[in-house]
Every structure is written in C-alpha cells, then in structure tokens.
Amino acid sequence: MVRVLRNVMRGPRFFSRRVMAFDQAKLAANPSGTPIQKGLDGFEAYRSWTVTQEPRVALREHGELISVLMPTCETPQEFLREAIASVRAQSYSNWELCIYDDASSAQHVHDILQEEAAADPRIIVMKGGARGGISAASNEALKIARGKFVVLLDHDDLLHPDALAAVMAAMDGDKTDIIYSDHDCIDESSRRKFPFFKPDWSPDLFLSQMYLGHLVAIRRDLIHEVGLFDSSMDGAQDYDLILRCIAGGAEVHHISRVLYHWRQHAGSTAGNADSKPYAHHAGRAALQRYLDKVYPGAIARDGVNSFCYDVRYPVPQDSRGIDSSIIIPTRDGLDLLRTCISSLKKVTDAARYELIVVDNGSKEIATLRWLEDMAGSGVIKLIRADVPFNWSYLNNLAAEQARGDVLVFLNNDIEIIDPEWLSRLVEHALRTDVGVCGPLLLYGDMTIQHAGVVLGLGGWADHVFKGMQPLHIQSNYVSPIMRRNVLAVTGACMAIEAKKFDALGGFDESFQVCGSDVELCLRAYRRGLLNVYVPEARLIHHESKTRDPRDIPAGDFEQSERAYAPFRTEGDPYYNENLDYLSCVPQLRKQH
C-alpha cells in the first residue's frame, strides 16, 4: 500500500503507467496476453476465446488441388500420427499429402507411413535411401506435388481443420503468390497457447524475423521459377525460399486466423529458441543474399535476440555535406528545450546535421536571450514565427529553409539518450521505398510512449504498447522492439526525405494541433511508400508538458475523421482484427 500511495502521489499519469507496467510483468506468467478470468488460468482463457470468439472460415468443397509437403525424419510416433491426422481432418477435401521420409531408421516411421498411405489414396509416400537434410527432403516431396499451391507442414506440427479451406478462400486468381496465417503453439499436454496474431504483409518485419512462421502456402510454379529449397540454407530454408520469392515480386496475402499449431517441445524452436543456432546463422545468410540483390550495400547483422536480425542500410554521401535538418518548434519552456538541444549535441554521434528552432512567440526573457545566444554562436538556425500556434505551419515554414536531405521533426520535450538515433532514422528515410519513419519513444520511467501508431486504436489512433516495458516479449502480437511497418508514427519525432516531403505537399495546415503527422504518413502510404517504426532509435519523450493534450480544436477531430478513413472503422492492416482496438496493450478481442 505504501508503494501504491507513493506512485499515486507522483500524479495520475505516472500512476497509470506503473499499473500498465505491472500488468506487463504478469504477462510473463500469462504469455497469451488475455485477461485472466476468474477461475481460469491464461491457457484456459485462450481456450475459452477459441470456442466463443475464434472466427470461422466459409467452407468450399470444390476448388484447386492443394499439396501439403511434409518431410519426415525420425519423427516420434505420436507426433507423426497427429500431424497426418490433422491433414485428414481438413474441412476442405481436395488435397494431397506429399510425404518424403529422409531415411528414418525408426521402424515405426516406416510402418505409420505405409499404414496411412494405404488408408487414404490422397497420401503419397516416398522414402530416401540416404539422409539428405530438410531442403533435399522438401524438394523430393515437391517433385510429387501437383497442386497449384503447396502448404508447408513440419512433421511434428498440426493444421487447424479449416486451414486448407482458408487457403482456398484466399486464392485470388493469379494475384496471390504467398499466403500466411496466424498461429499458436501446442504443448505436450495438447493445450493451445501463445497465439501470434500477425500484421498483414510487413516487409521490414520480415527482414527482422521470419514472422510468417506457420502456416505458409506458396504457388508451386513460383517455387520452380525462383529455384527450389537450398540445402546450404538448412534450418532457414523456408525463409530463404520466401525471400527469393519476394525479390521476384511475389504478392503476399495474410489470413487473420490461427490455422497452424506449432508443437512446443525441448527440441523445437517453439519450445527452445536456442535449440538450433545453425538455423539462426542460415537465416542471416539468406537475408544477406536477399539484400545483395534488392538493397545493394545493406548489411544483415545479428539482432539482440535469437532469430532476429538488424539490417543496416547505406547512406549516400551528398556533396552538400548535410544529411539532415532537425526542426524543433518551441514557445518558452526553456528547461525542456535546453535539455533537448544539449542532449542532442552531447549524445548524437552524427555530425552532418543542422538544427533549426522555430520560436513561436516566446515571451520569457531567459528563453529569448538563450535563443539569441545559440543562434549567435551558430548552434542553431533561428526562425521567428509570432503567429497563433499551428504545428503544421511551423514545421512547413522551417522545412522551406532546411538544407538537409532528410527532415527530422522533433518536439522540444524530447531528450536524446541514444547516440545512433539520428543515423538510424536517416538511413531508413533515404531508402527509395520508405516514406516516414519514427523511433521508439520512452516515458521518463523508461516504459513505452510510442512504438508505432495504430489507426482505429481507441476509436481514433493511438500508440500500441503504450505503458509497456521495451522488452522482447511476443504476446498476442509482435514484439514491441521489433522493427516493422506501420500506417503512421508520431510527429513528436519523425523523419522523411526532404524531396518526398515536398512531393507529398508537406503537412496539412488545416490541422492546428494534432492529426497532421498521421495524415502525412497516410498520404505516403497511399503513394505506395512504407512507413517504418525503428526501435533501434530510442529517445525519451516528456510528453505534452508544454501544451494540454486535451486542448485539441474541434476542427482537428473533423479533419482526422476525414483523413483516417477507412482505417479508423475498418481496422489497421498492420495490426490484427483479432486484437482489442480499445486497448493499447495487445489483448484478445472480446467480440468478433
């Protein structure tokens, strides 16, 4: 109680964030992320959700043949029987199961495969005389496949009964090349748990981790076009194959439904992420091969966690000598502004930038003198704008006078704590396929303030993971610290290439206080550009200490209602329809 009272005394904002942080600590004991119902543990709460809220798939009895590829090798008896049974239990009947056994010595593997093939003519079994590895076995299974799409099934995992029906429903003529779904894990007691509700196709997330996981269906003729599974990439052979498909322009479709159950045991990466270190290294090699073709000069590095990668992009050296212009609007609030600029100058490791401060009518003598001193000594370029506050106008005004290749819009209540923050944002902003990018912003207590904007969250738009710890926890949704694509980032710190900003027309000045940051990102998205959340860049945001966040003009809401459509009501493609849009912490949706 004493600790609670102390936190309450520090203010409602601080107290609410500590409560959310406490909730996240419980998340480690309840990784499903669902609220623990009375009398139910986390596993039972998810099981209850699957019964009452899990979406259904409209059945299609007739359609294209689908080939399920399943290499086997010394598979435990129970796992093998259950994997095959999950295929035979499919609600969609036009399938074939292509099994290639990679020279298993266990007699039960041979007996079960022969028994299953005799029981169902749709099961085709071949056996190798010598061990070839997962890629070679997959290629042999592919040789006997006849379906338009092939579905990859590990020999110890399970398909949901509606998996193939959903794949069939997702086929869209020749427009779809790769189909993936959400998945969960199944433990040794056959309990479903740890659901992973994924975003729609997110290229930057895929270059950070092989998040497609299971279920994955690939157009068979595309595999033959790009080349079969590569034995040099064993352990990450599916990641490598899909990367080559993507490099060839493959169209990817996401099914927002759990259709695959990844078995969790000591020898699997689902149960032990460090069980196959060779697979991590193979994944990095596959990623580098992709980068060499698509992003020449980019380098695939190991991420902080297993099976996670950190792609660094080259920054071309411009003859003008200025990579970025950092634009900071301000009005008094000298303590915040001084902290912002001094921390920026002290911590930032980049040297090729200019600082532009837009003074929006400061009145305090100390502020005016400090600004004059900074401008006189060449630390900042000072622009006077003694006009009614309009965030969009102030930033547009400075952008017109900026000389940098990249514009970085920064609030005056930001504190720099990461030496690489600027170089990280600049390298992404200069990518030809990127519109706007933004960093991980933390509150003063080091919980998350911004990790990407989700349209429709809270009814309008909000920051997912707000109040959570910046830890690599994948619960219900992606990890808070994984790089990924988003519809929008916050204007508290956002970066965009100057020529793209000009082409988009700058910020919409009909927004006075808020909303124009999201609207600019949406314009970039609609132009076919990617917006990127870059968690490797970390800053502290002392949020809204100079303006009351409730003081938002009605016109901003009206403009936001227009600009945010249709995402505000129909959902954000980079979130998941199975998650609760009324919670910043990813939780299961209560009604579907």
Q: What is the mean pLDDT of residues 233-245?
A: 97
Burial class of residue 151, CB neighbours in 10 A (0-12, 13-18, 19+): buried
- Confidence category of residue 23, pLDDT binned at 50, 70, 90: very low
- What CA–CA distance (Å, rounded) separates 395 from 412? 13
Within-domain flag for 477: yes
Residue 362 in tokens: 């400061």
Q: What is the mean pLDDT of residues 155-166?
A: 95
Do 357 and 494 belong together in one domain? yes
pLDDT tens per residue, range 70-127 = 999 999 999 999 999 999 999 999 999 999 999 999 999 999 999 999 999 999 999 9
Do 366 and 510 belong together in one domain? yes
SS3 498: helix
Indicate the residue type of 186.
I
Q: What is the mean pLDDT of residues 508-514?
A: 91
Within-domain flag for 291: no
- 151 pLDDT higher than 50: yes
- Confidence category of residue 39, pLDDT binned at 50, 70, 90: very low
Residue 185 in tokens: 């894990």
Phi–psi pair at 510, nearest 5 degrees = -75, -15
Do 489 and 420 belong together in one domain? yes
Q: Helix crossing, 554-563 with 516-526: angle to 10°?
A: 10
Do 406 and 530 belong together in one domain? yes
Do 43 and 72 belong together in one domain? no
Q: How far is CA 516 from CA 262, 331, 504, 507, 511, in A?
A: 42, 19, 12, 6, 6
Within-domain flag for 306: no
Do 31 and 73 belong together in one domain? no
Residue of higher predicted confidence among 475 and 580: 580
DSSP string, 368-379: HHHHHHHHHTTS
Within-domain flag for 483: yes
Within-domain flag for 58: no
Q: What is the mean pLDDT of residues 22-29?
A: 44
What share of the chain has pLDDT > 90, as a percent? 77
Q: What is the mean pLDDT of residues 426-445?
A: 97
Q: What is the mean pLDDT of residues 214-228?
A: 95
Phi–psi pair at 427, nearest 5 degrees = -65, -30
**What's the total number of domains in the chain?**
3
Judged by average pLDDT, the poorest of 278-292, 322-336, 419-433, 553-567 is 553-567
Is the model's pTM score more than 0.95? Answer: no
DSSP string, 11-58: -HHHHHHHHHHHHHHHHTT-TT-----TT--HHHHHHHHHHHTPPP--
pLDDT score at 241: 98
482 and 209 Cβ atoms separated by less than 8 Å: yes
Within-domain flag for 372: yes
- 154 pLDDT higher than 60: yes
Do 384 and 258 belong together in one domain? no
- 319 pLDDT higher than 60: no
- 36 pLDDT higher than 60: no
- What CA–CA distance (Å, rounded) separates 297 from 146? 39
- What CA–CA distance (Å, rounded) separates 330 from 361? 8
3-state secondary structure 432-465: CCEEEEEEEEECCCCCEEECCEEECHHHCEEECC
pLDDT score at 313: 97
Do 203 and 334 belong together in one domain? no
- What CA–CA distance (Å, rounded) separates 426 from 493? 12
Domain residues for the domain of 24 are 2-52
Query: CA angle 218-208-581, nearest 5°?
Result: 85
pLDDT score at 550: 60
Do 225 and 346 belong together in one domain? no
- 546 pLDDT higher than 90: no
- What CA–CA distance (Å, rounded) separates 496 from 517? 11
pLDDT score at 320: 60
pLDDT score at 234: 96
Do 449 and 341 belong together in one domain? yes
Judged by average pLDDT, the poorest of 40-49, 337-346, 351-360, 564-573 is 40-49
- What CA–CA distance (Å, rounded) separates 174 from 577? 26
Beta strands 149-152; 66-72: pairing state:
parallel
- 519 pLDDT higher than 90: yes
pLDDT score at 46: 85
Q: Check which CATH number belongs to the domain holding 422 and give it.
A: 3.90.550.10
Within-domain flag for 528: yes
Output the average pLDDT for the chain. Answer: 89
Residue 423 in tokens: 């170089």
- What CA–CA distance (Å, rounded) separates 507 from 215? 41
pLDDT tens per residue, range 42-60 = 677 788 888 888 888 777 6
Do 22 and 147 belong together in one domain? no
Within-domain flag for 89: yes
pLDDT tens per residue, range 380-412 = 999 999 999 999 999 999 999 999 999 999 999
Q: How far is CA 504 from CA 137, 390, 433, in A?
A: 50, 19, 14
Where a domain ends, among 237, 260, 275?
275
Q: What is the mean pLDDT of residues 546-570?
A: 80
Do 348 and 441 belong together in one domain? yes
- What CA–CA distance (Å, rounded) separates 206 from 250? 14
- What CA–CA distance (Å, rounded) separates 26 from 16? 16
Judged by average pLDDT, the poorest of 10-14, 190-194, 235-239, 331-335 is 10-14
pLDDT score at 152: 96
